[in-house]
Structure formats: C-alpha cells, structure tokens
Structure 1
Amino acid sequence: MKLKALIGLAAATATLFAAPVRAEEIVLKVAHFWPATALSQQKILEPWCAKIAVESDNRLKCQIFPAMQLGGTPAQLIQQAADGVADIVWTLPGYTAGRFPSVEVFELPFMTHNAEGASRAAWAYYEQFGQKDFESVKPLAFHVHDAGHIHNNKRPITRMSDFRGLKMRAPTRLTNRMIAHLGATPVAMPMPQTPEAVSKGVVDGYVLPWEVIPTMKLHEMTKYHTEMDASQPSLYTTFFTIAMNKARYDSLPDELKKVIDANSGADFSAAIGRAWDESAPAARQQAVDRGNQFHTIPASEAAEWVKVGDRLAAEWVKEVSGKGYPGQEMLDTARALIATHSAR
C-alpha cells in the first residue's frame, strides 16, 4: 500500500510540474515586389495573415518580405515559390513570358469591366484550363487589377495616332504587344523599375492602374492621363497570382491545410479584385489634385481601339493553339466567365 501511495504521489508531482506541450508554430515567408506601404501588403496580405493566425490558434504566422527583400527580381518570384526560397509569393505570371500561356487571355485588351468579377472568373478559369501551367506551385489566388490607363509626359493622347514616336512601359508580353499595335514602342519592365525609367526619360510613359501610381509617386512625374469611357471595358488589365510552395503546404498538418484552403480560392481572389476596384478613385484624385491633365476616349471613338483588341485576340488564339492549347475555347470561356461574374 505504501508503495502504491508513493507511485501515485510521484505521478501527481510529475503532472503538476510538467511543462505544457505547445503546438508547433509555423512561420510562412511571404515575398512580393511592392513596397510595404502598398495596398497589396496593407489591405490584402496583412489581413490575410492575421486571419490565418486566428483560425489556426496562432499556429500559422507570416513573415512578410516586401520589395524583393529575399533577393532576386520580380520575374524570379514564381520560381522562388516553386523552389522554396519563399513559402508564399505574390507576382505576375506574365513577368516570365511564355511560361503561363493559358492565363494570358485575361491580359488581352477590352476583356474586363471590374477587377472583382474578373478575379472571381480568373479562379474558375484556372480550374478549367490553368492547372497544368501552375503544377509547380499551389495557387492560393488569381486576380486582376482595376482598369489600366495610359500615362505619359510628352503630349495628351486623344487618338491612336498620338502614340507614334512614344516609348511606353508595359508589364507583360501581351500588354507590350498592345502598345505596339497602338503605335508606340513598347519597353518591357517590372513595375518597380518604372519610376526611375520615367524620371530619367528612358520611357515617355507607361500603362498602369490608378492604385499603383501614388504608391510609386508616379503622379508627381506625369503630366497626361488618358482613360477609356467608363461604359467601355477596361483598356487592359494584368493577371496576378498568390502562390505557395507545394512541399511547404504538403508538410502542414491536415487541420492547418484546412485553414489555408478556407482562405484560398474564388472568394479570396474576388476580395483582392474588389480591393483594387475600391482603391482607384482615391488614387486618381491625387493626380487630379496636382493639376495633371486628363482625357477620356469617348464611347463613340472606342471602336477603332477595340479593333486592336480583336486583332490581338485572334493572334493569341492562333499562337496558343499552335502550342496545343484549345485557344478559341479558352478565349470564349474567359469572356463568358467574366461576363457572368461581372454582372453579379
């Protein structure tokens, strides 16, 4: 009896003084090319990271590396996710020209009406046509930005002939092709290089959505802005992804995979697009307040511009079909999905 009592006392004492076992805390390295003050980090990444922390009981946390702090260039981000240099990246697939042909369709001119609807459509389109292109990573979201516009320092652009002789920055293969069809000389470069290129006269202008411009202080370097009539589809937009390293995701316990999955996909994609839509008026106002000059291409003159988009779409269908993709079906599906989700 005394022996049993001693054993019981020892067990109770061990239980009393044992350190509590804490679940492992997992820190995800999240990399992107914007400055830390940009909408992308403050309105999207930071709230997303806070949400997965709460839903995982603080077992999932983020360490965010803005402005390429993990090294490399914006064009290398998608490979950094594939290789595990970063656990999660936010980038443009189009920065690596030709690697993700399936999703280029969203960057054709006059495809979208708003970023929210087009971003929800982008996820649905990826599920049907893009999974092979993105098999090296685990996509968490696909989205587009708000309407892209034309900005330059040389002269007001009121008609297509005004593009002649201009050197214009554009982000991706198809937007550069659009610039060439409009009559300017395209200069390909990632967004972070644009302010220096503008200030040094390497380019005369650029195409960008409004949200980015104050973040990069480009409204202080630019005189003229040209927009399409609001009744028309966007002149262009750019396709983005937030993608995760597959091995990092696969290594998570099932309950933490569920947290990531619950905060990925169509709803997350649409929320990012909505944030871009909502950001545009205030960003545009900063250019207005500086007294910059604005011009709108009226709907009555838009037909000539839309023909440029039609030619580019036909070229794209022929090109990707030659690579074994169902080009026309992809174009038709993208347009139908955008129309469906933008009408909601």
Structure 2
Amino acid sequence: MTLSNSLVRGAVVLALAAAASAQAQEIVLKVHHIWPTMAIGHSRVVAPWCEAIAKESNNRMRCQILPAMTGGGTPAQLVDRVKDGVDDLVVTLPGYTPGRFPIMEALELPFMTNTAESASAAAWDYYSKYATKEFTGTKILATWVHDEGFVSTSSKPIRSMEDFKGLKIRAASRQSTKLLARLGATPVGMPIPPVADAMTKGTIDGFMTAWEIIPAFKLHEVSKYHTEIEASRPSMFTAGFVMAMNQAKYDSLPADLKSVIDKNSGGNLSRTIGRYWDEATATGRNAAVARGNVFNKINAAETDRWIQASAPLYDEWVADMDKRGLPGKQMLQDAKDLIKKYNK
C-alpha cells in the first residue's frame, strides 16, 4: 500500500469515527415556555412531547424544560429567543408581540371560532398556506388556539355592551385589544403571567382569557364575575399559540432525529392540542363555580350587538393584508372555510 493510499484510508476511518461519535452524542433541546407546571400547556403538551422524542430517539435527544419563564426574559421575547437560538424550542403566543404576525391574526378575529380542536386544525392548514414567511428563522411544529374566550371582572358585572365603558380590561392580542375598544372598554395589552397581580393591585378591572388557564394562574380568585356570550354564536375571541423550534438547530440534526421531530409535529399535533384545551374548559369553569363566583350569560340579541360592533375589524384586517400585497378577502374566506370544514 502506498503512503498516499494509507493516508486516504486513515482519513476515511477518522471521518467515519467522527460521524459515529456525532451520531451517538446526546442532543439536549432547551425548551422554554410561559406556564407553571400544573398548566396543561406544560403537563399535557410540552412534557409528553419531550417524553415522546426521547423515547423515539432512544434517548439520543431529550429536553431541558424551563417552565414559567425560568430561562429568563419575558413572554413577548420568546419569539426572538427561539429565532436567535437563545432557546432551542419555545411555546408562546405570537399575539404577545402585537402586529408582528398579522397574517395569523385571521384566526384571532372576534367571533370566528367555536371549538379549539376544529379551529386548531384549521390554524395549521391556514398557517401552511399563508403564514410560513412570518416565522423566518424558526420551524413551527404546531399552531393552535384556546377554548372559547370570555371576560372576567372584579367589581362590576358585564351584562350589556354599555357595561364595558370605563373598565380597563386585559387583552391578549392586537385583535382582542381592538375588540375591547369597539365594545367601549379601555384595553390593556398584557401576557397572562402578570394578570393576577394586576387585578389585585387594581391596575386592571378585568381580563379576557379562556377557562383552561384560570386555575393555573388562580385567576378565579382575583375575579368575581364571568361574562359568557350566547352559546350558539362563535366564540367572543380566541388567541393563537405556536410551538416553535430554532431552524438552525433543526437543520443541524441528523436525518433520523429530524424524522423524530417531524413525526411529532404538524396538523395532527395541532388538532390534538386544541382538543386538550377544549377538555380543560370544564375544569377551569368548575374552579370558579366552587369559589361562588357569579356567571352572567349574554342573550342572543345582546350577543349580536357585540358581533355587529366588531364587524369593522374584519374589513380592517382585509385592508391590511391588501396593503401588504396579499389576497386579504380570500385569506379571510379560507380561514372561515377551514374552520367550517373541521367543525363538521
């Protein structure tokens, strides 16, 4: 064997050894989210997802979970933390950065959705068709919405649209902020973690959210009145979530580990997570019932007044999309059609 051939063989052996070493190396994904561990976002979504990828990768890939923002920063910063590679994977609400993800706001327009399961399935299809460009630098693994949203207040019940006047109400997104303004309230944009403290201090008089999150942040303990609209109408509002992975981190994985991630992402995962939110509605509502809180049901006629008041928000959103060179009217119709498709 010549010296040249020997060197080539040695290089090949070293390359194969390096490849084998990389293949065997354990990959730890830093997973950051907003919820305490008792919330279903952690217990039914993040923790089981991490268990699944560990099992399916034969423990070559696992998570370091950082719940309740324990990795630092604020909820609004999570979209940039994952994009910049500070976190490998996050679960957050794009609406916490108002106006930055306007395409996905179609699913957050008022009176659009009913069940979280059907709307979450629709959200994935809609995202895949229109909104991938909104999340450059990240790989979206799932997108979903919460169960039906409603309003809670501390000292003044809301029985009609006029009762919103003078109240400072927490909003979760740009569209829910606009909705509250149309109804006569003073909207206050705020992520969910500081809401209980803001209620206690009187910074806000009430908040918009869904039942799922109420027990995890003890929001039934800082409110007295809960306003629910006519059940036959679409949900008053909803907010969207994403499970997002740093694109460069995903791209760096060997093919078999990419396949594990791919298997545990997409439309089925999005729809399943939506169903978890629907299933948690009763638990959250029962916490408020057990405390003796007061429930106000808005009848059909009054609900329709609220729907009529919010109608201009649809035209505003379409006009915004048109200004961006996008087919706003078609996008809105597609969102509605997808929700209708999965409601069947």
Structure 1 length normalisation: TM-score?
Answer: 0.92
- Helix, strand or coil: the match of 1:306? helix
> Which residue matches 2:222?
221
Displacement of 1:302: 2.1
Does residue 182 in structure 1 map to residue 183 in structure 2? yes
Task: Indicate the residue corresponding to 1:269 in structure 2.
Answer: 270
Match of 1:256 in 2: 257
Partner SS state of residue 192, structure 1? coil
| Structure 2 CA distance for aligned equivalents of residues 322 and 49 of structure 1 | 41
**Distance in 1 of aligned mates of 2:254 and 2:36:** 32
Partner of residue 121, structure 2: 120
* Cα deviation, residue 23, structure 1: 1.7
State the number of aligned residues. 324
Aligned mates of 2:260, 2:309 — CA distance in 1: 44
Q: 1:189, 1:305 → 2: CA distance?
A: 22
1:129 maps to amino acid: Y
Measure the CA separation in 2 of the matches of 1:303 and 1:287: 26
- Secondary structure in structure 2 of the residue aligned to 1:191: coil
Correspondence for 2:24: 23
In the TM superposition, what is the alpha-carbon distance from 1:173 to its structure 2 partner?
Answer: 1.0
What per-residue deviation string (whole Å, max 9, x for no partner) do you get for residues 124-177 of structure 1? 001110011112210000000000111001221111011011010111111111
1:319 positional shift: 2.0
Q: CA deviation at 1:339?
A: 0.7
What letter matches 1:201 in structure 2? G
Q: Equivalent residue of 1:133, what SS?
A: helix
CA RMSD of aligned residues (A): 1.3
Inter-partner Cα distance in structure 2 for 1:71 and 1:325:
36
SS in 2 for 1:211: helix
SS in 1 for 2:193: helix
| Structure 2 residue matching 1:261: 3-state secondary structure | helix
Q: Tell me how far 1:325 sits from its aligned partner.
A: 2.1
Range that drifts further, 313-322 or 25-34: 313-322
Report SS of the residue matched to 1:131.
helix
Three-state SS of the structure 1 residue aligned to 2:68 is coil
Residue 70 of structure 1 and its aligned partner are, at CA, apart by 1.6
Q: Note the C-alpha offset of 1:309.
A: 3.1
Structure 2 partner of 1:322 = 323
Aligned-partner SS, 1:274: helix
| Distance in structure 1 (CA, Å) of the matches to 2:129 and 2:35 | 30
Report the equivalent of 1:94: 95
| Residue deviations 1:69-102 (CA, integer Å, cap 9, x gap) | 1211111101111111110001111111221110
1:22-65 deviation digits (Å, cap 9, x = unpaired): 82211100001111221101111111111111111111111100
Amino acid at match of 1:120: A
Name the SS of the counterpart of 1:284 in structure 2.
Answer: helix
One-letter code aligned to 1:141: A
| Amino acid in structure 2 at the alignment position of 1:289 | A
Please list, as runs of the form range in 1=range in 2, the aligned pairs for 1:1-344 lying within 5 A after superposition: 23-343=24-344
Q: For residue 149 of structure 1, what is the amino acid of its counterpart? A: F
Shift of 1:257: 0.3
SS in structure 1 of the partner of residue 187 of structure 2: strand
Deviations 1:304-327 (A, max 9, x none): 111133211111111222122221
What TM-score, normalized by structure 2, do the two folds share?
A: 0.92
CA distance in 2, matches of 1:67, 1:174: 25
The offset of 1:282, in angstroms, is 1.2
Question: Aligned letter for 1:292?
Answer: N
Deviates more, 1:197-206 or 1:326-335: 326-335
Q: In the aligned structure 2, how far is the partner of 1:58 from the partner of 1:186?
A: 46
Alignment-mate amino acid for residue 62 of structure 1: C
Q: Kindly name which structure, 1 or 2, has the bigger radius of gyration based on alpha carbons.
A: 1
